[in-house]
Amino acid sequence: MTTLPPQVEQVVAKVDAFMAKYPQVTQYERLKEIEEKTGYPKAAFFLLGTIVLAVLLTVVGGTKLIVDLLGFVYPAYMSFKSMDSGNKDVTQWLTYWVVFSFFSIVENILGLLVALIPFYTWIKIGMIVWMYHPSTMGAKTVYEQGLRPLLMPYIDVSEPKKTE
């Protein structure tokens, strides 16, 4: 096996730990076989595959596809996971989807203005990650401080009356 600088070894170890945590998604066993055959770290092949996939997606669908996948794939996975586990994360993900949908509608309505904002794609990526990241829970902040005060006067949250 090739000797790598200590900083690179740390990155390889972190990527390896990530791959071991999600073996089915990262094809851990298959990459382990390739590592044994070639002598190169499986993390290098994983990162190369990830970069090739990102470039391919960008060429095929553009940055909009990348941003939409970023805003959909992980939150959808976590939503399904939280629904099946029965924990209170369901509220976080429901809040995310409400806020994400609101921003998607506003973005489509204001398409011409959005196109004039410099680095809009990068701002949107940061916003999406901020909204769903567990340490920030940005969607909850946007909902509680922005959407809820805006929408609550128009929503009747009282208990429905029973008809007998």
pLDDT of residue 154: 86
Tell me the C-alpha distance between 105 and 103, whole Å.
Answer: 5
The dihedral through the CA atoms of 15, 20, 21, 24 has a sign that is: positive
* Percentages (nearest 5) of helix, strand, coil residues in the chain: 80, 0, 20
Q: Which two tokens stand for residue 3?
A: 């000797």
- Confirm if 93 and 78 have CB atoms less than 8 A apart: yes
- Confirm if 134 and 75 have CB atoms less than 8 A apart: no
Amino acid at 136: T
pLDDT of residue 146: 94
pLDDT of residue 89: 77
CB crowding 38-55: b at 16 or more within 10 Å, else e: eeebbbbbbeeeeeeeee
Q: What is the largest CA-CA distance in the chain?
A: 78
pLDDT of residue 45: 93
pLDDT block averages, 10 residues each, the chain of length 164 = 80 91 88 92 92 89 86 90 80 92 93 91 94 92 94 78 62
pLDDT of residue 38: 93
